[in-house]
């Protein structure tokens, strides 16, 4: 049978990196192929080549027997390729309908027929069971719905091949289940699916075939039947990876972070956190479990001085920390791994070295008497790049040149090497590959063993369960229960997260 998509001997280099090196892959009709690999392994580059967003240096891409013009998105779309991007490509100030029809608008002459466009979107969303409000404006919608719009956008073109670039990275567990269901349905209707993910259980759940890339090279193809999650992780990283976290018992000491009666409002000035109190002790990891949007983000921002505290105080090592003063909070010994690394964690246009010293560039040894010491910075950056395995040709490169997971490593490296008393880690492994997850988890545990109080916020329940010494379940801006990490039961916590009482 003729393959739906055939990639042959594809290579692509960027300055200093060989992103894809002689890769050949096939995808058949109705097949779900998972593309797996570490951050920076070249997965995104590969799928972007197929969609014409990147022009490969050599090699051919054939769809349904026809070779397509490299680097031409319109040609890829004509050949029936649709893509859902890792960073949503939506226009926030436009309506759902406008976003979906963009590029191929129903029209009479030069005019868009709004009614026809709206009806088409309603029909499309009904056909695939992907519910959206056609008249809503994209900027007002949660990410799960935004992604649904992206998928609808792709499906609208009667595609044969759907590419999904890390579609589950920003979704809640429930949204992920829905997404996997959609993927299965589409494949059953004959669409070939090529999707990138870091989450091995998703691969095991839906993929027919798994293709693994490492350092730009194809290292192997397998099926979920022939392997398990450990096997996949090993293929990706090239060594044994321990997926379960190994840690000794916590030796909790004095209270390092004390939150008393904290109330915070969200961006729309609604109550996000109400009269919240919590203590985290030095030498323990306290995990906050909860469905996203239950006040975790606002809580973290209020602790770190990025959001106004309406009521209450946050004490660090017994002293009250300042409100709305991120630097002041940091100087008291609080490290923060922010949820949104692009927005709050990095200055993309700065070099990796500058990003690694972003909150200490003015302190010794990086500045002496107000003059910056670049040698000290470079030595430090060189050490951290090696220690944290940040994949880059040089620490002089801008942070924007890094792949998502490597950006996260920069933030983690900066925040965990400052001997802080308190570490606030929000979604520390979001969009990060298994090898790096293992590494970041080890770092968090060794920070704990070194006597730091770690407040971990994560949408990944498994991460919370495996790392936390104590688990606080958050619902509707309040703590509904605090459980010991040892005897936490997945289903019990899940029920609490959903707002059910036990």
Partner 1 sequence: MLKRINIKPWQLILGVVLLGVWIYCYIANTDITNSVVASGMRFGMPLALAAMVGIMCERSGVINIGIEGTMLLSGFTGFYVASWSKNIVAGLMIAILTGILTSFVHAMMTIQWKMDQIIAGTIINILASGLTSFLYKQGSTIPNSWPIFDIPILGQIPFIGHAFFTQQGPIQYLGLILIPAIWVMMYKTRWGLRTRAVGENPGSADTAGVSVIKVRMINVMFGGAIGGFVGGFICLELVGSFSKEFTAGSGFTALALMIFGRWNPMGAFAAAILFGLAQALSTQLQIFGVTNIPNQFITMLPYVFTIVVLAVSAGKVRPPAAAGKSYEKEQA
**Interface residue list for partner 1 (CB under 8 A):** 14, 17, 19, 44-45, 48, 51, 53-54, 73-74, 77, 83, 85, 87, 89-94, 98-99, 101-105, 107, 110-112, 137, 153, 401, 403
Of residues 74 and 498, the one with the C-beta less far from partner 1: 74
CB 138 → partner 1: shortest distance, Å? 10
- Distance of alpha carbon 284 from alpha carbon 25, whole angstroms: 46
Of residues 137 and 361, the one with the C-beta less far from partner 1: 137
CB 299 → partner 1: shortest distance, Å? 29
- Per-residue CA distances from 21 to 7, 8, 17, 52, 217 (Å): 12, 11, 10, 17, 5
E strands, 58-127, are 58-63, 66-67, 81-84, 107-108, 111-112
CB 75 → partner 1: shortest distance, Å? 9
Of residues 403 and 443, the one with the C-beta less far from partner 1: 403
Of residues 87 and 364, the one with the C-beta less far from partner 1: 87
22 φ, ψ (degrees, to nearest 5): 50, 65
Count, residues in the chain: 502
Of residues 70 and 295, the one with the C-beta less far from partner 1: 70
- Distance of alpha carbon 136 from alpha carbon 138, whole angstroms: 6
Q: Is 143 helix (H, G, I), strand (E, B) or coil?
A: helix
CB 83 → partner 1: shortest distance, Å? 7
Residues 6+ positions from 202 with CB-CB distance below 8 Å: 34, 168, 176, 180
Of residues 401 and 420, the one with the C-beta less far from partner 1: 401
Of residues 94 and 376, the one with the C-beta less far from partner 1: 94
Angle at 253 between CA 481 and CA 302, to 5 degrees: 55
Residue 322 is classified by DSSP as P
In 3D, which of 10, 114, 158 has the Cα closest to residue 71? 10
Of residues 92 and 190, the one with the C-beta less far from partner 1: 92
Chain mean position to CA 331:
28
CB 98 → partner 1: shortest distance, Å? 6
Order the strands of the 17-27 sheet from edge to edge: 17-27, 5-14, 58-63, 66-67
Count CB-CB contacts under 10 A for residue 273. Answer: 30
- Distance of alpha carbon 217 from alpha carbon 304, whole angstroms: 41
Of residues 320 and 342, the one with the C-beta less far from partner 1: 342
- Tokens of residue 77, six digits: 């779309």
Of residues 143 and 205, the one with the C-beta less far from partner 1: 143
Q: On the CB side of 59, how many CA atoms lie within 13 Å of its CA?
A: 23
In 3D, which of 300, 297, 311, 296 has the Cα closest to residue 478? 296
- Distance of alpha carbon 246 from alpha carbon 230, whole angstroms: 15
- Distance of alpha carbon 454 from alpha carbon 450, whole angstroms: 11
- Distance of alpha carbon 110 from alpha carbon 184, whole angstroms: 38
Of residues 153 and 247, the one with the C-beta less far from partner 1: 153
Angle at 256 between CA 314 and CA 342, to 5 degrees: 65
CB 238 → partner 1: shortest distance, Å? 21
């Amino acid at each position: 049978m003729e393959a739906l998509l055939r990639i042959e001997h594809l290579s692509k280099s960027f300055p200093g990196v060989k992103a894809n090196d002689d890769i050949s892959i096939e995808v058949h009709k109705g097949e779900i192929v998972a593309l797996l690999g570490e951050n920076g392994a070249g997965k995104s580059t590969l799928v972007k080549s197929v969609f014409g967003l990147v022009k490969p240096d050599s090699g051919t891409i054939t769809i349904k027997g026809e070779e397509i013009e490299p680097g031409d998105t319109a040609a890829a779309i004509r050949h029936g390729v649709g893509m859902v991007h890792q960073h949503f490509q939506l226009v926030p100030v436009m309506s759902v309908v406008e976003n979906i029809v963009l590029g191929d608008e129903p029209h009479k002459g030069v005019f868009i027929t709004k009614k026809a466009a709206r009806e088409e979107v309603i029909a499309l969303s009904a056909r695939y069971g992907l519910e959206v409000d056609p008249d809503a404006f994209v900027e007002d919608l949660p990410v799960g719905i935004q992604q649904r719009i992206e998928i609808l956008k792709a499906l609208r073109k009667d595609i044969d091949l759907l590419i999904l670039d890390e579609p589950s990275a920003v979704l809640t567990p429930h949204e992920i289940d829905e997404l996997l269901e959609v993927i299965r349905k589409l494949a059953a209707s004959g669409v070939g699916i090529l999707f990138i993910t870091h989450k091995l259980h998703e691969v095991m759940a839906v993929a027919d075939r798994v293709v693994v890339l490492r350092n730009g090279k194809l290292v192997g193809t397998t099926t979920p039947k022939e392997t398990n999650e450990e096997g996949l992780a090993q293929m990706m990283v090239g060594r044994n990876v321990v997926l379960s976290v190994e840690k000794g018992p916590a030796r909790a000491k004095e209270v390092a972070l004390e939150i008393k009666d904290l109330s915070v409002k969200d961006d729309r000035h609604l109550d996000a956190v109400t009269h919240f109190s919590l203590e985290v002790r030095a030498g323990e990891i306290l995990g906050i479990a909860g469905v996203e949007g239950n006040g975790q983000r606002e809580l973290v921002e209020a602790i770190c001085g990025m959001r106004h505290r309406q009521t209450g105080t946050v004490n660090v090592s017994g002293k009250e920390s300042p409100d709305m003063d991120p630097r002041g909070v940091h100087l008291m010994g609080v490290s923060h791994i922010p949820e949104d690394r692009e927005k709050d964690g990095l200055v993309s246009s700065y070099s990796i070295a500058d990003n690694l010293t972003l909150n200490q560039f003015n302190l010794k040894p990086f500045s002496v008497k107000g003059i910056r010491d670049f040698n000290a910075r470079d030595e430090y950056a060189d050490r951290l790049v090696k220690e944290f395995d940040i994949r880059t040709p040089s620490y002089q490169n801008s942070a924007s040149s890094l792949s998502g997971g490597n950006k996260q490593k920069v933030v983690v490296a900066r925040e965990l090497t400052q001997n802080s008393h308190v570490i606030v880690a929000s979604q520390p492994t979001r969009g990060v590959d298994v090898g790096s997850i293992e590494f970041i988890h080890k770092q968090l545990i060794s920070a704990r063993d070194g006597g730091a109080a770690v407040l971990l916020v994560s949408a990944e329940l498994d991460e919370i369960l495996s790392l936390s010494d104590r688990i606080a379940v958050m619902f509707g801006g309040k703590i509904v229960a605090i459980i010991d990490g040892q005897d936490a039961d997945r289903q019990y916590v899940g029920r609490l997260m959903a707002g059910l009482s036990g």
